[in-house]
Amino acid sequence: MTNVLILGANGGIARLAIDLFLDQTDAKLTLYLRNASRLRNMNSDRVRVIEGDVLNLEKLEAAMAGQDVVYANLSGDLERYAENIVEAMEATNVKRLIFISSMGIYDEVPGEKYGSILNPYRKSAAVIETSNLDYTILRPAWFTNKDEINYETTQKGEPFKGYEVSRKSVADLVVKLAESSESSETEVRSSLGVNRPE
């Protein structure tokens, strides 16, 4: 049984991932978010909810105790969030991190040049990549709300493919990565572009 800490548990992808974890795995989930009242129907005995801010290092470390995987689905001050996540994981000896970022952080989208809007994503990825964690950074294309699981991935250094991907597809990949973390070295210390095949 995998213990998974979900940071930013009310995010669009996170809510779908929670459903997939509960439907398809026996994982135990710790949902960490600023406003716990936003969560609905969390009556499973495999779920506990912690109200907290990722910038509160003490509370974050307490939430990480005993976890196998940390899945971060955040918006806002991403560089500071990444710094706190890395510090808390190192302090609690939790190694596996799945972190949602954005396509374009390495100028890997053919024909596109992205400006300063991606700087928080670039900087947070750099923090994670220089850590000693077993991370996987996910760089999704533009999100759709299609009820489909249909995606392909590209590695850092490869041109990005496609322009969209469903949130449900990214959630499926998160669950697969979290569940495989104990049995293999699946995509450890890698950065994956995620898109719907054209």
pLDDT in tens, 20-55: 999 999 999 999 999 988 887 677 899 999 999 999
Backbone angles phi, psi at 38, to 5 degrees: -75, -25
Delimit the domains of the chain by residue range.
3-195
Q: How many CB atoms are located within 10 Å of the residue 112 CB? A: 11
User: Which residue's entry shows tokens 């890395």?
Assistant: 86
**Which two tokens mark 153?**
């991935």
- Distance (Å, rounded) from C-alpha 41 to C-alpha 75? 23
Amino acid residing at 172: D
Give counts: helices (H), strands (E), the chain.
5, 10
- Distance (Å, rounded) from C-alpha 163 to C-alpha 143? 9
Whether 27 and 44 have beta carbons less than 8 Å apart is answered as no
Tell me if the pTM is above 0.85: yes
- Name 25's Cβ contacts closer than 8 Å, sequence gap at least 6: 2, 175, 179
**Which two tokens mark 117?**
């809007």
Q: How many CB atoms are located within 10 Å of the residue 77 CB? A: 14
Whether 196 and 164 have beta carbons less than 8 Å apart is answered as yes
- Homologous superfamily of 3-195: NAD(P)-binding Rossmann-like Domain (3.40.50.720)
Whether 61 and 106 have beta carbons less than 8 Å apart is answered as no
Residue 166's DSSP bridge partners are: 144
pLDDT in tens, 138-179: 999 999 999 999 999 999 999 999 999 999 999 999 999 999
pLDDT in tens, 49-97: 999 999 999 999 999 999 999 999 999 999 999 999 999 999 999 999 9
- Distance (Å, rounded) from C-alpha 183 to C-alpha 25? 14
